[in-house]
Structure formats: structure tokens, C-alpha cells
């Protein structure tokens, strides 16, 4: 297990560095000037002073300086948010996105796994057909459509939830359900496919032949193996959900990290772009490492293979 963790940490560090380098090259080579955003014909002297202030005199010097600060937890000042540092912006926005993402993933697992398992057990029945329809809708329907429909239904016609904003428990259900819907559909589909594959295995027939009840075989034996593909999906899905969905945050007025990332891209705020990308890639690597460790714990053969 220690060897597996060490390898994953080293590969994760290399992955984050590669993502950082590629993102930086894309940002500095795209057309546009981050110091002219919202300004009116800055003089050359003023622009050079701003570049010197933010350390952008030389791109590659900024690359290494920013990386060194980021390792210490300091992302530097924001180019477009006056008197704010990128660290302060992320510290304010990330907990909001993480809470919303955690609720979405929790809903996806608690709803998607039972639906997928029951659909596989009752294959070709009415419940299975309904589940397949739900999966198709959940995967295909854009979140801005789902969010708008939920707002119209539960905040306008049947006003049981606030129409938007953040700060109370009443603001949580609608954006969490909207964000959870596509993840729930994928979890249900993966669980159903895994269960169909496992239910035809020899060890399931052996367990049934030994006299174990069908409920025990399904819940304690089949579902454990069928959950492995779901576990693989949950790694990147959790990172994606917890770093915020711009569409969901925009529809419901949630002050999360997704909105800041999009605004940073529009304003060419290099510091905030690089900061949010580093946070997202770090979370992605961390959750994938956690998934690898859980995989090795559930199936010890993976540890020996590694």
C-alpha cells in the first residue's frame, strides 16, 4: 500500500506540473492584454509599470515565481479584483463550491446506486425501462435547463424555495439537485452495467447454491464488486463537482469558484486563472489517489499488481 501511495503521489505531482505548464502557455499565447481589460488606452509607461508590479515583465520568470509562491500557498494578487489576492478569492469561493459539490455527489451515490442495482435485478421490467429513460434524460439534459425548470416550479409556481442566492439551508436543495442529476444518471448506469455483469458470475451462483438469500448475495457480494466502476467515476466527478459548476452557480446566484474562473478567463486575469487551475488539478489528483487506495482496499489484487 505504501509503495502504491508513493507512486501515485509522484505521478500526481508530475501531472499537476504538466497541467500548470500547458495552461500557462495557453494563457500567455492567446491574443489580448490583461492590463487593458476595462481600461481605456493605457500608455506604454503605465502598462510597463503594471507588468512590473505583477511580475509580468518576463513570462517565464513569472512562471517560476508564481509556481514557487503557489507551493507555499500564496497565489499572489488578482489582476482584475482590486485589493484582493487570488488566495483570498479562492478561500472565500472554494468552500461554497465544495459544499455544493459534496451534496451533489452524496445525492448521486445515495440515489444512483440503489436505482442502478434494482434496475439490474429487475432487468427488462418497468422499473428497468424507467431507469434507462431517467439515465438518458439525466445525461442529455443541460444543467441550465434543469436549474431553470426547478426554479420555475419550486420558487415561482410553488414557492417552497428561494429564487436564488446563498447563505441559508433553504438555498441548498435546488442547486444541489441540479448539479447532482447528471452524476446520478452516470452512477445509475454504471451500477446497472456492473450488476448485470456480476450477477452472471460463477461466485454469485455458488453463493446462491450454498443457501444464501438472494438479498444477502446482491447487497453483500454482487454490489461490492459492481461498485468498482462507480468508484472510478467518482474520483474525477467529485473533483469536478467540488470545484464548482459555472452554469449552476450562475442560474442560482451561488458565489462559488466556477464563476470566478470564467470571469478570470474573460478578464485575462492570469494569476486567478492559474490559481483556479492549480486548485482544480490538485483536487482531481487527490481524489483519484483516494480512489486508487479504496480500490486497493476493496480488491487487494490491485496492490500486488502495483
pLDDT, tens only, 232-282: 888 888 888 887 678 898 889 888 888 888 888 888 888 899 999 999 889
Q: Which residues pair with 85 in a beta bridge?
A: 77
User: Phi and psi for 77 in degrees, rounded to 5?
Assistant: -75, 155
Is residue 56's pLDDT more than 80?
Answer: no
* Residue 34, pLDDT score: 67
- Residue 38: which pLDDT band, with cuts at 50, 70 and 90? low
pLDDT at 179 over 90: yes
Alpha-carbon Rg of the chain, whole angstroms?
A: 23
Res 49: pLDDT = 77
Average pLDDT over residues 67-82: 85
Q: Which residues of 204-243 are buried (b: 16+ CB within 10 A; e: fewer)?
A: beebeeeeeeeeebbeebbbebbbbbbbbbbbebbbbbbb
pLDDT confidence of residue 304: 44
Return the CATH fold of 93-305: MetI-like fold (1.10.3720)
Mean pLDDT of 225-237: 86
Task: Enter the DSSP assignment of 221.
Answer: I
Q: What is the pTM of this model?
A: 0.82
Check pLDDT > 70 for residue 287.
yes
What is the Cα–Cα distance from 277 to 266, expressed in whole angstroms? Answer: 15
Amino acid at each position: 500500500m505504501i509503495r502504491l501511495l508513493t507512486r501515485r503521489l509522484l505521478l500526481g505531482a508530475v501531472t499537476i506540473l504538466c497541467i500548470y505548464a500547458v495552461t500557462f502557455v495557453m494563457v500567455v499565447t492567446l491574443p489580448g492584454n490583461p492590463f487593458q481589460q476595462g481600461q481605456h488606452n493605457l500608455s506604454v509607461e503605465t502598462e510597463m509599470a503594471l507588468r512590473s508590479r505583477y511580475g509580468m515583465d518576463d513570462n517565464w520568470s513569472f512562471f517560476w515565481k508564481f509556481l514557487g509562491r503557489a507551493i507555499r500557498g500564496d497565489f499572489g494578487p488578482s489582476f482584475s479584483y482590486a485589493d484582493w489576492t487570488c488566495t483570498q478569492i479562492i478561500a472565500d469561493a472554494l468552500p461554497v463550491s465544495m459544499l455544493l459539490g459534496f451534496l451533489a455527489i452524496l445525492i448521486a451515490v445515495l440515489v444512483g446506486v440503489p436505482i442502478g442495482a434494482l434496475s439490474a435485478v429487475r432487468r427488462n421490467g418497468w422499473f428497468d425501462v424507467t431507469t434507462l429513460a431517467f439515465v438518458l434524460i439525466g445525461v442529455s439534459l443541460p444543467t441550465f435547463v434543469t436549474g431553470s425548470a426547478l426554479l420555475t416550479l419550486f420558487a415561482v409556481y410553488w414557492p417552497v424555495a428561494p429564487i436564488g442566492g446563498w447563505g441559508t439551508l433553504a438555498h441548498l436543495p435546488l442547486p444541489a439537485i441540479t448539479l447532482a442529476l447528471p452524476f446520478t444518471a452516470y452512477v445509475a448506469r454504471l451500477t446497472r452495467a456492473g450488476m448485470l455483469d456480476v450477477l452472471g458470475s460463477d461466485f454469485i451462483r455458488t453463493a446462491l447454491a450454498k443457501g444464501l438469500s438472494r438479498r444477502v448475495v446482491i447487497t453483500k457480494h454482487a454490489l461490492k464488486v459492481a461498485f468498482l466502476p462507480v468508484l472510478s467515476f467518482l474520483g474525477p466527478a467529485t473533483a469536478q463537482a467540488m470545484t464548482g459548476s459555472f452554469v449552476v452557480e450562475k442560474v442560482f446566484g451561488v458565489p462559488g469558484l466556477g464563476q470566478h474562473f470564467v470571469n478570470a478567463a474573460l478578464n485575462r486575469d492570469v494569476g486567478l486563472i492559474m490559481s483556479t487551475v492549480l486548485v482544480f488539478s490538485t483536487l482531481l489528483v487527490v481524489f483519484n489517489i483516494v480512489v486508487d487506495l479504496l480500490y486497493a482496499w476493496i480488491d487487494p489484487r490491485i496492490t500486488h499488481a502495483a
